[in-house]
């Protein structure tokens, strides 16, 4: 968008060109998301089995269709009737407020669970695979995503459940060797100690509120991109996907 604005000398022509560029980006992103969905839908569980997703990765988080949610959507659009679970995603409740709404709009029955219920459900056999999005992926496959993703990956590993990431190749940063090079944002304490302006903890409570965490590549079964389903060793498969995109 900035390049388009800087390349246009006539101020009166900037807005139409910016709108055209925005629509081009939107269409490109939707196509990428649909390709992610097409690649990833074959990884979804059998009918009656369960998939768990975390945070919001649907049309509200992208231009359209979605990444991890888009994979679930693609599976349902092709006739899959697996069960869907989504976490509430504390502290901002993106899963409860956004993902649950998106599933309702799509007509996909989904069950909202507390973040802390995921381990029990895996142990009980309710969940057959986990799929999340990503905010940044290092060259070796270490993945930064919404806080709580790492915990889900460890639980999935302990219970022998596949753990998938769905993201466009633009999320892959080959200049970052591994997850130690990804800086994690720390958010204000009040996001944990209060919600909707109402306190949920005693006054003076100290809170730690990282917005993201990094999932080591050893806990990731595959990374679904628009170019391919990347599997370990990720150093090689991710580079090939980026080159092919």
Active centre residues (catalytic):
135
Token output for 154: 């460890």
- The span from the CA of 91 to the CA of 125, in Å, is 27
- The span from the CA of 145 to the CA of 77, in Å, is 26
Burial class (CB in 10 A: 0-12, 13-18, 19+), 72: buried
Q: How far is CA 116 from CA 25, 40, 155, in A?
A: 37, 26, 11
Is the bond into 233 cis (omega within 30 degrees of 0)?
yes
Residues in the chain, overall count = 245
- Cβ atoms of residues 168 and 36 within 8 Å: yes
- The 8-class DSSP code of residue 96 comes to I
- The span from the CA of 180 to the CA of 178, in Å, is 6
């Amino acid at each position: 968008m900035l390049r388009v604005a800087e390349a246009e000398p006539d101020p009166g022509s900037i807005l139409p060109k910016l709108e055209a560029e925005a629509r081009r980006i939107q269409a490109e992103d939707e196509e990428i998301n649909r390709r992610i969905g097409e690649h990833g839908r074959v990884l979804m569980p059998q009918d009656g089995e369960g998939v768990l997703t975390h945070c919001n990765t649907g049309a509200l988080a992208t231009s359209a269709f979605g990444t991890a949610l888009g994979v679930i959507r693609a599976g349902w659009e092709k006739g899959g009737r697996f069960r869907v679970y989504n976490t509430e995603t504390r502290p901002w409740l993106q899963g409860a407020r956004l993902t649950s709404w998106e599933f309702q709009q799509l007509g996909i029955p989904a069950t909202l669970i507390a973040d802390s219920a995921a381990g029990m459900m895996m142990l009980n056999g309710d969940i057959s695979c986990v799929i999340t999005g990503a905010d940044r992926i290092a060259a070796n496959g270490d993945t930064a995503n919404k806080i709580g993703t790492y915990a889900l990956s460890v639980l999935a590993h302990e219970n022998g459940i596949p753990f998938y990431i769905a993201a466009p190749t633009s999320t892959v940063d080959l200049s970052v060797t591994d997850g130690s090079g990804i800086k994690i944002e720390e958010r204000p304490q009040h996001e944990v100690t209060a919600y909707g302006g109402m306190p949920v903890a005693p006054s003076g409570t100290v809170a730690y509120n990282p917005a993201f965490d990094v999932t080591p590549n050893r806990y990731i079964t595959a990374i679904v991109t628009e170019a391919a389903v990347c599997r370990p060793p990720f150093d090689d498969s991710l580079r090939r996907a980026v080159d092919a995109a």
